[in-house]
Each structure stands twice: as C-alpha cells, then as structure tokens.
Amino acid sequence: MNTNELKTLCQLCGTSGREQAVRDYIVKELLALGLAPQVDRLGNILVRKQGAAPANHKLLFSAHMDEVALMVTDITEDGSLKFDMVGGVSAAAVIGRQVLVGQKKIPGVIGTKPIHHLSSEEKKQSVRMSALHVDIGAASKADAQTHVRRGDVIYFLPEYRTFGDGCIAAKALDDRFGCALLLSLIRQDLPYDTDFAFVVQEEVGLRGAGVAANTAAPEFAVVIEATTAADVAGCKGTNAVCQLGNGAVISFMDGRTIYDAALYQKAADTAQQLGIPWQTKTRIAGGNDAGAIQSAAGGVRVLAVSIPCRYLHSPVSVVKLSDAEACEQLAAALIPMIQNIGDSDDDC
C-alpha cells in the first residue's frame, strides 16, 4: 500500500455529488499510466487494465470516491451556520471539530449551546444535529453571507497521521482506502484483463455503483471498502464486529447484501491457503456498493473485502497498515481465483 498516495487521497475534499477533486486526481494518475478512463454523466470513473491474458470472466473491482460531510442549510442572524448531514454522521462525534466551509474553505468550528445553559431535561438527551452550528467568526448574517451560502459543503479538517503500532488516523479513510488500493492494483502487472470503477454517491444510497455496474456489465464484482470495527472500550465479543490487526474482512452478509456463498467461501479458502490474515464480521449491519452492483446488469456475483476501521463516519477514523496490506494481498489473489472459476464452482 502506497501510504503517501493514501494520505493525498484522504486530504482531498469530496463528498457525495462533489467528488471532483478526488476524480481529477484519479483520472490524472490513470492517464499517466497510459490508460483511457471514461467518466460517465454521474461522475463515475470506469477503466480497464489489460492483463497477461484475456479474462475468462468479466471482473470489476469497485471503490467509492465520496466521503461523509455536512451541508449548510441556513445562516442565522448572528452569522452562525446551520447544517445537515451528507451521509450518516453522528452529532455527538462532531461537536468541537474544526471544519472547512464552501469553495473558499472558510475555517470554522462546530459548536452547541453551552452546558451551563442546558436545562435538566436537555442534559439527559442525546445531542441532535439541529442543535449544532458552525462558527466561522462572522459578526452577522450579512457578514457570513459574503463568504458562505446555503448548499455549501462543510468538510472536516483534513488530517492524516501515523501513530501507535502501525495505525493511521485520517478523515475519509472510508473509502479513499479503497481508491488507493484500486490504484495500487492497476499499477501492477495483472494476470488477466480487469475492470475498475471509482464510483460516486455511495454515502447517500449507493447511487453511482449501480450506474457503473450497468455500464461495465461484469459477471463478478469485488467491492473494496472500510467497515466498522468497534473493538474499543465497552465493546467486547460479538459487539466488536471486527478488529484492527486481524486482517482483511470478508463479508458473508450485511444490511444490504447477501454475498455470493461460493465466492465468499473461495475467498476465505484463498486467504487461508496463502497465509493472508482475514476475518469476518460478528454482527450483521451496514452496507456498501455491493448492494447496488448485485442487482445491476442482469445480476452480478459480488464479494466485499474491507479494512476494519474504528470511528467510521466521523471526523477522524483509524485503520491499521497491516490490515491494509492484507486487503491488498487478498485483492490481488482474487483475480486469478475468480478467473479460474468453472461451472462446477457455481453452486451456492
């Protein structure tokens, strides 16, 4: 895994429907490799990398470019900004966070009513997004309106740092990790022709992936993602879902998709045979672009390979480099595995 590229991708700002900066970077890298990426009307990138041999089965790797963020919905008389979510964001996770607002990247801080002004009843309640605001230091509504307008995107302050035992903390690891892995695969000498999709608007309903899959029309698709790891204080056993340091996560089911049973088993067997650390989830939750790809183009056999990620959909998430390496090793191994699937391997 090229961690310098991962850092670059995570520091770019691109939420659902506003993926331009991420798309521009990826297209530039693909063109530098002599490839011919196609960008559809929704903003998905589709590209084919020729391998040493023609594909026996049309295989698509997919990752999404967008990140969760916030969007300005109103400007109050005192010049603070009201906002709502783009994707699933917890209000409790954003209080006090530094942000960048609009095209000019105006700095701001997310605030709420001071605790000494809360009623006894309010202190018992979970904080709501409607109770929060962004302070950009404006003196009035008129002052704020010279810098910001409704519909402007509010991004969490780009951060990227390594810490602890091989851990990475950054915004947008979901799913710039997947984008970085796909680029890494594309730069390799592949054994078979393989299609790749960098898709838009996953965080607001898997909107780009279905369009991309209808265009690519694959038989098989592998979605590279980040998935919730709750291996933190207060969460044990089943509630941890998956754990940092235990390798790539291969999913058998989530809140949106029942994965191809034979494909899941063969992926697990492949990881086991090659000594690639892997795990699966202990709770059924969440979802990803496999849910849209599976039902596109007449039906696609899907698999998800994810990196375990703490504090998903928050201003800063955490992954482990060893898990990233396991995901990349497994993804590369899946290409010959899937291309060598025969009729006898189709039973589910």
109 exposure class (CB count in 10 Å sphere: 0-12, 13-18, 19+): middle
Full-model pTM: 0.94
CATH code of 69-156, in short, is 2.40.30.40
The arrangement of strands across the sheet holding 45-49 comes to 38-39, 45-49, 194-199, 59-64, 220-228, 301-309, 248-250, 278-279
DSSP 310: B
Fold equal for 3-67+171-345 and 69-156:
no
| DSSP bridge pairs for 64 | 199
pLDDT value, residue 348: 46
Residue spans of alpha helices (H) in the chain? 3-11, 20-32, 120-124, 141-145, 173-186, 207-216, 261-274, 290-293, 321-339
**CATH 3.40.50.720: does it fit domain 3-67+171-345?**
no
Q: Which residues are catalytic?
A: 202
pLDDT value, residue 242: 85
The domains of the chain are located at: 3-67+171-345, 69-156
pLDDT tens series, the chain, 348 aa: 899 999 999 999 999 999 999 999 999 999 999 999 999 999 999 999 999 999 999 999 999 999 999 999 999 999 999 999 999 999 989 999 999 999 999 999 999 866 665 666 655 667 788 889 999 999 999 999 999 999 999 999 998 999 999 999 999 999 999 999 999 999 999 999 999 999 999 999 999 999 999 999 999 999 999 999 887 877 777 877 889 999 999 999 998 899 999 999 999 999 999 999 999 988 887 889 999 999 999 999 999 999 999 999 999 999 999 999 999 999 999 999 999 998 666 554
pLDDT value, residue 239: 79
Residue 227 contacts residue 286 (beta carbons within 8 Å)? yes
